[in-house]
């Protein structure tokens, strides 16, 4: 009511007291658990001017997602810092603020396991600012006029490096992996115009734009250029800073020329992130119920790429619903792998996922993502069936090829986060560190701690640094927070850099991850690491927690399960 009416209302016999409706009355208790930056619903009192509130929100750094007016009062959806909500609540027109929790159907399984759904919800990250490169055999019809609606209007440029003038998909592989990365899900019920992707088969970055490089001819082999700079440099010039590659060579974890060329290109272009599949050579060759190690594909053995392995999805129907050994008897001849269903345990490794380490002892894969019974786009050229047909537009498929675009999609969201939220252009090293730091340790895996144990605490030959979780990387549940440092200035032998972080709540672990872009190794070398940095974390009382230095990896991580309260010194 108007202030002028207050005195008259107060004189009414049944009115005991009149006072201001305080800002704290307008804030849902659920805001206490909201991420620092998240989406919120703001309801206005009836008849209030939404434009005024929207302007106030913008001055507080909020971004308007949508606003709808009704006789009961306008309702707006905003992306904002939770710390600024009290000031917004102080606006007289505002009646109520609460976290925005999107209703959803649990269909897009892999993205849910990897925290993509919550990341979209909390941070409004859809990849719309990103231009992504994919090199694969081909993409759908190879014609932007007839291409699947899941890619329509977002293919910015194509290269035909194997079949001149023809970038169509002759075996379905390139269409499927690209769908997992950036398919819009338009053919499965999404509405990209309102960012409504729940229940659809949308990829991780469903609004990203695409540069596609066709390097295949329909068979199982692909034919990238002799020098990988000839693959990467043209798309880098186009503006691509994230590249996804679901291919590689079975080289028993060796560091090859291609591996060195990947490291060289990223060394020369330190803002270029590239993701490679580690391969599908996981085998129980000794018939002892344990997958052999040391079978990573190249160029996934490179130091400066993100190498992606495969965990199991969660699907009780569709695709391959049988044990690994029933599908591939010679590869998995005995229990427990033989009869283990392929997509019944998100904490299990896919048996076929290649295992590290690299030949020189480095941790690979870097991270894993679901890679069994993945539903994604189907090529409309070949009608390929993958593992099984879902419908005319989508199929089930599996492999580290399928986990790789998920990791790449998560990297695209991370890059968008740093650019739009933090206003920096992140290095490839920071993107990799961010993905690794949020990864979930799935130890001991699906077979427990007995004789057939498959997964040990990260870093590990099976899971690497853990299973992808982009929400944990970018917007972990309170009281956890994510901090970062992206260094471009050189550091010399004997020098160090210190970073101070204060722990104010010891209910969550303190995890510190260091990644650096290393100078390319040599195919002749026993160890490929050139620049050996070391990570130590000192507690407020001076207790030192170093990463066990091994002179091998360009990734180091220190985790303190129950940190002391106070200021920690992180030293590189």
Give whole-number Cα distances, 425 to 406, 415, 421, in Å: 21, 8, 11
Q: What 3-state DSSP class applies to 265?
A: helix
Q: CA-CA distance, 69 to 490, in Å (whole number)?
A: 54
Residues 361 and 309 in one domain: yes
Does any domain span residue 334?
A: no
Whether 212 maps to a domain, the answer reads yes
Residue 30 has what DSSP assignment?
G
DSSP state of 45: P
Tell me: do 84 and 122 sit in the same domain: no
Residue with tokens 């895996």: 445
* pTM for the whole structure: 0.84
Residue 477 lies in a domain: no
The CATH number of the domain holding residue 358 is 3.40.50.200
**Of the residues 99, 127, 154, the one at which a domain ends:** 99
Angle at the Cα of 353 from the Cα atoms of 175 and 532, rounded to 5 degrees = 105
Q: Which of 557, 565, 572, 559 is nearest to 541 (CA)?
A: 565
170 and 309 inside one domain: yes
In this prediction, the residues of the chain whose per-residue pLDDT falls under 70 are 72, 101-108
What is the distance between the alpha carbons of residues 436 and 324, in angstroms, rounded to a whole number?
28
**Contact between 119 and 475 (Cβ < 8 Å):** yes
Q: Are residues 90 and 175 in the same domain?
A: no
CA distances from 553 to 32, 343, 369, 517, 568 (A): 39, 31, 21, 11, 24
- Co-location of 119 and 94 in the same domain: no
Domain shared by 420 and 527, yes or no? no
Peptide bond just before 357 cis, omega within 30 deg: yes
Per-residue pLDDT, 426: 98
CB 315 within 8 A of CB 385: no
Between CA 331 and CA 280 the distance in angstroms is 11
DSSP 564: P
**What is residue 482's predicted lDDT score, i.e. its pLDDT?**
93
Residues 453 and 503 occupy one common structural domain:
no
* 551 located within any domain: yes
Alpha-carbon distance of 173 to 140, in angstroms, equals 9
> Is position 326 within any domain?
no
Q: Are residues 14 and 118 in the same domain?
A: no
Question: For 270-321, what is each residue's pLDDT tens digit?
Answer: 999 999 999 999 999 999 999 999 999 999 999 999 999 999 999 999 999 9
Quote the pLDDT of residue 353: 96
Residues 377 and 518 in one domain: no
- For residue 344, the SS3 value is strand
Q: Which of 471, 486, 504 marks a domain boundary?
A: 471
| Cα gap 505→67, rounded to integer Å | 36
HEC assignment per residue over 453-516: CCCCCCCECCCECCECCHHHHHCCCCCCCCCCCCCCCCCCCCCCCEEEEEECCCCCCEEEEEEC
Tens digits of residue pLDDT in 119-151:
988 899 999 999 999 999 999 999 999 999 999
209, 238: one domain = yes
Nearest partner of 128 among 149, 147, 154, 148, judged by Cα: 154
**Domain closes at, from 436, 471, 506:** 471
Residue-level pLDDT at 102: 52
Rounded-to-integer distance, Cα 195 and Cα 352, Å = 35
The total number of structural domains in the chain stands at: 3
**Relative orientation angle of helices 400-420 and 428-437, to the nearest 10 degrees:** 110
Same domain membership, residue 267 and residue 224: yes
Write down the pLDDT at residue 122: 86
Does a structural domain hold residue 260?
yes
Structure tokens given for 145:
């006029």
Res 103: pLDDT: 40
Shared domain for 166 and 132, answered yes or no, is yes
d(CA 458, CA 309): 14
State the CATH number of the domain containing residue 36.
3.30.70.1140
| Boundaries of domain holding 276 | 113-314+353-471
Confirm whether 278 is domain-assigned.
Answer: yes
- CATH (domain of 572): 2.60.120.380
pLDDT of residue 104: 24
Residue 106 domain flag: no
Number of helical H runs and strand E runs in the chain: 12, 22
């Amino acid at each position: 009511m108007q202030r002028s009416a207050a005195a008259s209302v107060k004189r009414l016999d049944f009115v005991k007291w009149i006072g201001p409706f305080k800002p704290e009355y307008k804030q849902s208790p659920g805001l206490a658990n909201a991420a620092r930056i998240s989406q919120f619903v703001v309801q206005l009192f009836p008849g209030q001017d939404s434009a005024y509130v929207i302007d106030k929100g913008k001055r507080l750094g909020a971004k308007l997602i949508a606003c709808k007016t009704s006789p009961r009062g306008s309702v707006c959806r905003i992306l904002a810092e939770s710390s600024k909500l009290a000031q917004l609540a102080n606006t007289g027109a505002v009646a109520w603020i609460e976290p925005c929790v999107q209703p959803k159907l649990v269909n897009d399984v892999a993205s849910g396991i990897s925290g993509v759904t919550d990341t979209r919800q909390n941070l409004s990250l859809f990849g719309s600012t990103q231009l992504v490169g994919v090199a694969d055999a081909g993409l759908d019809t190879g014609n932007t006029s007839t291409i699947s609606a899941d890619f329509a209007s977002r293919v910015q440029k194509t290269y035909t490096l194997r079949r001149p003038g023809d970038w169509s998909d002759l075996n379905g592989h390139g269409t499927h992996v690209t769908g997992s990365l950036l398919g819009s899900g338009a053919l499965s019920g999404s509405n990209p115009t309102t960012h409504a992707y729940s229940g659809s088969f949308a990829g991780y970055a469903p609004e990203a734009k695409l540069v596609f490089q066709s390097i295949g001819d329909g068979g199982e082999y692909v034919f990238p250029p002799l020098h990988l700079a000839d693959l990467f440099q043209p798309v880098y010039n186009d503006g691509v800073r994230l590249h996804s590659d679901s291919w590689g060579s079975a080289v028993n974890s060796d560091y090859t020329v291609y591996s060195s060329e990947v490291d060289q290109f990223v060394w020369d272009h330190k803002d270029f992130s590239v993701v490679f599949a580690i391969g599908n050579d996981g085998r129980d060759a000794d018939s002892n119920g344990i997958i052999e190690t040391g079978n990573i594909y190249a160029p996934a053995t490179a130091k400066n790429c993100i190498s992606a392995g495969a965990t199991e999805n969660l699907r009780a129907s569709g695709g391959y619903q049988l044990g690994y050994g029933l599908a591939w008897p010679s590869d998995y001849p005995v229990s427990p792998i033989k009869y283990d269903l392929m997509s019944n345990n998100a904490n299990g490794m896919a048996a076929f996922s290649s295992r590290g380490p690299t030949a020189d002892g480095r941790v690979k894969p870097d991270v894993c993502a679901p890679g069994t019974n993945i539903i994604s786009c189907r090529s409309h050229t070949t009608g390929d069936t993958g593992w099984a047909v879902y419908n005319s537009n989508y199929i089930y498929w599996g492999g580290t090829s399928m986990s790789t675009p998920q990791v790449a999609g998560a990297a695209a969201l991370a890059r968008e986060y740093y650019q739009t939220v933090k206003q920096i252009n992140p290095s490839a090293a920071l993107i990799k560190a961010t993905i690794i730091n949020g990864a979930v340790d799935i130890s001991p895996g699906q077979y427990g701690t007995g004789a057939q144990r498959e997964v040990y605490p990260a870093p590990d030959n099976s899971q690497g640094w853990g299973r992808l979780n982009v929400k944990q990387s970018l917007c972990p549940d309170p009281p956890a927070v994510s901090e970062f440092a992206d260094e471009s200035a050189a550091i010399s032998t004997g020098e160090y850099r210190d970073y101070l972080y204060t722990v104010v709540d010891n209910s969550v672990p303190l995890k510190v991850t260091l990644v650096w872009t290393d100078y390319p190794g040599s195919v002749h070398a026993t160890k490929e690491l050139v620049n050996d940095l070391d990570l130590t974390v000192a507690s407020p009382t001076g207790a030192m927690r170093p990463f066990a230095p091994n002179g091998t990896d360009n990734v180091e991580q220190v985790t303190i399960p129950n940190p002391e309260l106070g200021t920690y010194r992180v030293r590189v």
